[in-house]
């Protein structure tokens, strides 16, 4: 029976050739794509070494780029993916081979790109790297070109020189219809063919000429959509034994691993990010303020943090991202305070995902200048505000497709907010939220939630604790990469409806909070892409905390922002 029809998800699929562009969203996008197409594992190498236009020109006309791939990013991503990704070292033969030798035990294979670095297969610098691969037992992935020293014939010569090394000829040989290349490697058993980019007739010919034990399914993601590569096999109507050989067993064999799933059958899915955050970055260790119970609130926050990390263990987190940030601005406002306030905001954020959902925790520690005074004097007020959200992915949990078109999935979000500040108002926010979340299929991520909200607070001026009317809220969060300039556009928008009377017995107003950040990936300046960001931000806050309209000025605060990922 043909298996690449509706039953495709029942087979184990190992993508032998995918790439990770060094940015803070590429891992999430790759895992999401793998989830969507039921690809369990993938071999990954660093991408984005040179622009595609330059690569295309070098393939046709020759030339080279003396650039180094971000192997550290790939290694870190594979660690975070917890067994789903297998790292290959993308070597620059123009460097000392000891760069590879010293790190070979951290990787599972070697990739060479003659079209990028312009070093021929019959060059001694190539041989030096292959000798190391032979010593550590690495397979070698490479592609060939139509010129002397770079051809499939040169690969065959190289493979015969190193018979203990498994070579993988990428992209179905040269061009889309390289039947001749398949003929050339047919008698060299330590050369396998990775089939991304080739026509279906080429794959069919390779199966006949080489046999299914010498083909490897690959996608060349993100240049090629994996669904296209799967479709090519679908129309071939392979039997299940042949498909399993090509899509799983061969990869496991040459990587030296058991031909069983690398991960738990019940822990495949990894979904992405954030639900209703107060910010995209945050740290916070509260300092004690005068005459206000920040300490007890910090204890409550500690319980949330403990619950967060315990939930990761209980739910077998598949990925996580932790980062800190610093924001500074001079035009913040507070309810009933007519002054423009300077604030330093230190932030901590942790996001993680498991099979059926995500956890999000963020806390802001805010230090005001003396225009927002602490209770009983002693300088500016200090505030801590923490958010925890847990989202359950309904499509994954029920195995029912919830999305379609631009809509990716539907989830259910639950969460809490806690706050404390040592000013004369003495707030002690306790909020809960519950409702559906829509996840959209865009580069990076975009999520919109409709939330049922409850809230309790404390008014230190009147000495009253207040239970507000239940209300609704609409929340959006996004992070959109701008890869052409190594930047990203992040932000959140929260709209919260009226919630009855406040601690002054006045009717509350509908509240709108919007924050947006445009940040550059400054880590690229020292080969740490996706790690350090710097840029500008803007905060707009109308009727802050539901303050009745006209009581306070809207916040319109530009900010400088720094962000560091671990």
Least confident range from 277-286, 331-340, 436-445: namely 277-286
Element (H, E) at 267: none
Distance CA 282, CA 421 (A): 17
For residue 376, the SS3 value is: coil
Comparing C-alpha atoms, which of 531, 447, 537 is closest to residue 494?
Answer: 447
Residues in the chain: 566
Distance CA 509, CA 518 (A): 30
The tokens describing 15, both together, are 């993508």
Write out the DSSP string of 234-247.
Answer: HTTT--HHHHHIII
What is the domain class of 294-565 according to CATH? mainly beta
**pLDDT of amino acid 46:** 95
Residues carrying CATH 3.20.20.140, the chain: 6-255
Distance CA 40, CA 8 (A): 12
Question: Sorting pLDDT into bands at 50, 70 and 90, what band is 357?
Answer: confident
CB within 8 Å of 196: residues ≥ 6 apart? 17, 170, 171, 172, 218, 219, 220, 224, 229
**DSSP state at residue 508:** -
| Secondary structure of 511-549 as H, E, C letters | EEEEEEEEEEEHHHHHCCCCCEEEEEEEEEEECHHHCCC
Q: Which residue has the higher pLDDT, 7 or 303?
A: 303
**DSSP state at residue 296:** H
pLDDT in tens, 127-174: 999 999 999 999 999 999 999 999 999 999 999 999 999 999 999 999
**DSSP state at residue 6:** G
pLDDT in tens, 509-518: 999 999 999 9
Q: Domain 6-255 classified CATH 3.20.20.140?
A: yes
Residue pair 472/498 in contact (Cβ under 8 Å)? The answer is: no
**DSSP state at residue 288:** P
**pLDDT of amino acid 316:** 55
For residue 500, the SS3 value is: coil
Handedness of CA 251, 254, 259, 261 (dihedral sign): negative
For residue 232, the SS3 value is: helix
pLDDT higher than threshold 90 for residue 209:
yes
How confident is the model over 249-268, as a mean pLDDT?
A: 66
How confident is the model over 351-379, as a mean pLDDT?
A: 88
How confident is the model over 175-187, as a mean pLDDT?
A: 91
Comparing C-alpha atoms, which of 304, 282, 275, 303 is closest to residue 391?
Answer: 275
**pLDDT of amino acid 246:** 95
Burial class (CB in 10 A: 0-12, 13-18, 19+), 262: middle
Residues carrying CATH 2.40.230.20, the chain: 294-565
């Amino acid at each position: 029976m043909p298996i690449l029809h509706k039953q495709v998800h029942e087979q184990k699929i190992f993508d032998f050739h995918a790439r990770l562009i060094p940015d803070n969203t590429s891992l999430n996008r790759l895992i999401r794509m793998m989830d969507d197409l039921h690809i369990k594992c993938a071999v990954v190498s660093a991408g984005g070494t040179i622009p595609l236009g330059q690569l295309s020109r070098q393939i046709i006309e020759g030339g080279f780029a003396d650039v180094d791939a971000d192997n550290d990013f790939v290694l870190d991503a594979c660690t975070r993916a917890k067994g789903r990704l297998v790292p290959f070292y993308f070597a620059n033969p123009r460097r000392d081979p000891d760069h590879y030798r010293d790190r070979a035990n951290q990787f599972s294979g070697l990739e060479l790109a003659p079209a990028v670095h312009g070093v021929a297969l019959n060059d001694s610098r190539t041989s030096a790297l292959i000798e190391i691969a032979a010593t550590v037992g690495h397979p070698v992935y490479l592609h060939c070109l139509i010129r002397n020293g770079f051809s499939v014939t040169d690969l065959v010569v190289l493979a015969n020189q190193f018979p203990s090394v498994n070579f993988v000829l990428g992209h179905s040989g040269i061009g889309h219809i390289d039947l001749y290349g398949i003929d050339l490697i047919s008698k060299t058993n330590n050369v396998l063919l990775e089939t991304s980019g080739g026509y279906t007739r080429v794959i069919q010919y390779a199966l006949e000429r080489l046999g299914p034990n010498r083909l490897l399914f690959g996608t060349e993601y993100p240049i090629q959509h994996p669904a296209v590569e799967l479709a090519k096999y679908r129309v071939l109507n392979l039997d299940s034994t042949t498909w399993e050989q090509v899509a799983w067993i061969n990869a496991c064999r040459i990587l030296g691993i058991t031909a069983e799933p690398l991960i738990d059958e019940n822990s495949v899915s990894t979904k992405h990010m954030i639900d209703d955050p107060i910010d995209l970055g945050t740290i916070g260790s509260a300092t004690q303020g005068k005459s206000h119970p920040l300490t007890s609130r910090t204890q409550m926050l500690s319980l949330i943090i403990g619950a967060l990390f315990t939930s990761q263990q209980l739910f077998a987190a598949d990925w996580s991202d932790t980062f800190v940030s610093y924001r500074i601005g001079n035009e913040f406002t507070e309810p009933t305070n007519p002054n423009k306030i300077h604030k330093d905001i230190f932030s901590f954020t942790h996001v993680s995902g498991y099979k059926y959902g995500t956890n999000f925790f963020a806390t802001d520690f805010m230090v005001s200048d003396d225009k927002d005074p602490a209770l009983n004097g002693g300088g500016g007020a200090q505030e801590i505000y923490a958010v925890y959200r847990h989202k359950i992915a309904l499509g994954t949990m029920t195995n029912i497709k919830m999305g379609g078109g631009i809509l990716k999935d539907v989830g259910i979000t639950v969460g809490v907010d806690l706050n404390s500040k040592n000013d004369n108002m003495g707030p002690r926010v306790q909020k809960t939220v519950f409702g559906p979340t829509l996840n959209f299929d865009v580069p990076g991520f975009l999520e919109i939630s409709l939330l049922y909200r409850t809230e309790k607070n404390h008014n230190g001026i009147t000495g009253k604790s207040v239970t507000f009317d239940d209300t609704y809220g609409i929340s959006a969060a996004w992070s959109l990469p701008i890869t052409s300039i190594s930047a990203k556009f992040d932000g959140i928008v929260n709209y919260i409806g009226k919630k009855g009377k406040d601690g002054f017995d006045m009717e509350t107003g509908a509240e709108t909070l919007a924050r947006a950040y445009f940040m550059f990936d400054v880590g690229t300046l020292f080969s740490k892409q996706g790690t350090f960001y710097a840029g500008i931000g803007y905060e707009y806050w109308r009727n802050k905390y539901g303050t009745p309209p006209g009581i306070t000025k809207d916040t319109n605060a530009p900010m400088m922002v720094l962000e560091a990922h671990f």
